[in-house]
Structure 1
């Protein structure tokens, strides 16, 4: 048997973007994903030699995530208001790791919340990273038939809805720019022309900042809610811009130079159908480090 000798640090750093990509999709939390990758590095540093570093690291990261998801479910059930994933900047830099671009839309990550941790693991490995069922089975320590069954269950839970999130970022930039202008002006009629009839707004404040604790449904209700934000006292110090976040054009809000919110519209057939607003300051830390 031939044992592959590798430069520990260099090998791990080469794998880091992919490992973060797996962990982020599994957990929906950038900070937690970083912790998992760091934990994997500690285990990597103390391991015996392995034949296939990439496979070994994938197994460690995936199973750490499965364990964390089990406890995370209980925390999310106690969460104040709607729970949304943490946003990450993806941008259009061709040198940026592809692991942070594909299948990371906020809507896609919300959809994955329907899955059990093992289902999510198999689905992420196959859909985002092209893993055959045999390899997914090895990662989770199950037989191939069981891995196939987990994937079928995931498909049944997620359905065809996942195709909604395969939009190109450039497609919605102009609409988001118009959306910002109408919101700043408090123009209800203009906002209504951009929203679908069944538009919805989900705001994640986590009980740490002012945010709607129940979703807002309907074109008129959503438009009036958005226009009302422009009349609030915080609007005077707010600056709104467009950045590519989770592979979609998003509204980033800065107050006194500090990132305080991200609104990510979901766009279908030229209309905004859903707006997910991440306002919990704890969930903006990772994005803040990316944008600063």
Structure 2
């Protein structure tokens, strides 16, 4: 085996972790793959003889690349004014495959990624690398060009914002059966046109974030009555609802004539739905790796 082949083999051992880092940082599967590919190119051109911790070195390189991509994204203001839902990772209802499990790192639901989108690039990097991937603040500070204490403060600030958004506390993330029961009750009520039952399935402070893409009808809706009313308004008799996992939590793919028209992720707490994140952007849906659904 030649040197380049050995390098490629060593890199592949770390690819799942690096892709998980990049996805957490960027919220985009395509951009995450771009960042990991660029990390490979840098690794392939670097003398790594003196690197004692290759995994740590590659994580640092990937984190720095993602930070640059986030800063470039912010400077170009390329996100639409409407609500943006990150790329979901969609798995069959019976579980994610090993590649997807490595990508998700842990089952936290899509709602956390929505909150991460609101963080400043430096905050997001400090929080993701430390809280999810246990990168020391000394290394995070080196990436950011700041002191370890400053990196720790950034992570702490991000952590407070995540907790304030209530994406994970009290959410029934480990109870898939309970999540699925709440989601099934929601759609059963919508099919019957039962507004009272719809409201009962929702937390009073539920939030619906809908991303329809450029030119679509994106929205941020709050309150059980408003969200239930929107669900009734957009109920389509020809639509089929397919149970799936979205970022490790209960979700659905909605199809019409076998064509995906929406991916919906749900956050459930206390048996009620507290958040719905819906992606209906046709271009982004076409780029996702979705399970096969019959027409």
- Compared with structure 1, are the counterparts of its residues 194 and 173 closer, same or farther at alpha carbon in structure 2 (3 Å cutoff)? same
- Equivalent pair of 1:88/1:286 in contact (CA under 8 Å): no
Of 188, 209, 212 in structure 2, the residue corresponding to residue 205 of structure 1 is 212
Q: After TM superposition, give the deviation of residue 245 of structure 1 in Å.
A: 0.6
Superposition pairs of residues 99-114 of structure 1, within 5 angstroms: 99-102=103-106, 104-114=108-118
Contact 2:60 2:143 in 1 (8 A): yes
Q: What is residue 194 of structure 1 aligned with on the other side?
A: 201
Q: How does 1:1-292 map to 2 (within 5 A)?
A: 7-50=6-49, 51=51, 52-74=53-75, 79-89=80-90, 92-93=95-96, 95-96=98-99, 97-102=101-106, 104-160=108-164, 161=166, 163-164=168-169, 167-168=173-174, 170=176, 171-209=178-216, 211=217, 213-230=218-235, 232=236, 235-236=237-238, 238-287=239-288, 289-292=289-292
CA offsets, 1:204-229, max 9 Å, x none? 012344x3x33222222221211122
Alignment partners' CA distance in 2, 1:123 and 1:219 = 31
TM-score after normalising by structure 1 = 0.86
Structure 2 CA distance for aligned equivalents of residues 49 and 155 of structure 1: 34
**Which region of structure 1 is more displaced relative to structure 2, 161-170 or 213-222?**
161-170
SS for the counterpart of 1:276 is: strand
SS of match in other structure, 1:7: helix
Q: What are the ranges of 5 or more consecutive residues in structure 2 without an aligned counterpart?
A: none
Q: 1:271 to 1:79 in 2, by over 3 A?
A: same
CA distance in structure 2 between the partners assigned to 1:191 and 1:166 by the alignment: 19
Distance 2:130 2:47 in 1: 28
Between Structure 1 and Structure 2, how many residues are aligned?
282
Cα distance 1:149–1:193, how it changes in 2: closer, same or farther (>3 A)?
closer
- Give the CA deviation at 1:240: 0.7
Q: 1:154 to 1:199 in 2, by over 3 A?
A: closer
Alpha-carbon distance, 1:141 to partner:
4.6
Secondary structure of the 2:9 match is helix
Q: Which segment drifts farther, 169-178 or 122-131?
A: 169-178
Moved more, 172-181 or 146-155: 146-155
Instruction: State the Cα distance separating 1:280 from its structure 2 match.
Output: 0.9
TM-score normalised by the chain length of structure 2: 0.85
1:109–1:93 CA distance, 2 compared to 1 (3 A): closer
In 2: Cα distance, 1:123 partner to 1:166 partner: 22
Structure 1 residue 85 displacement after superposition: 0.8
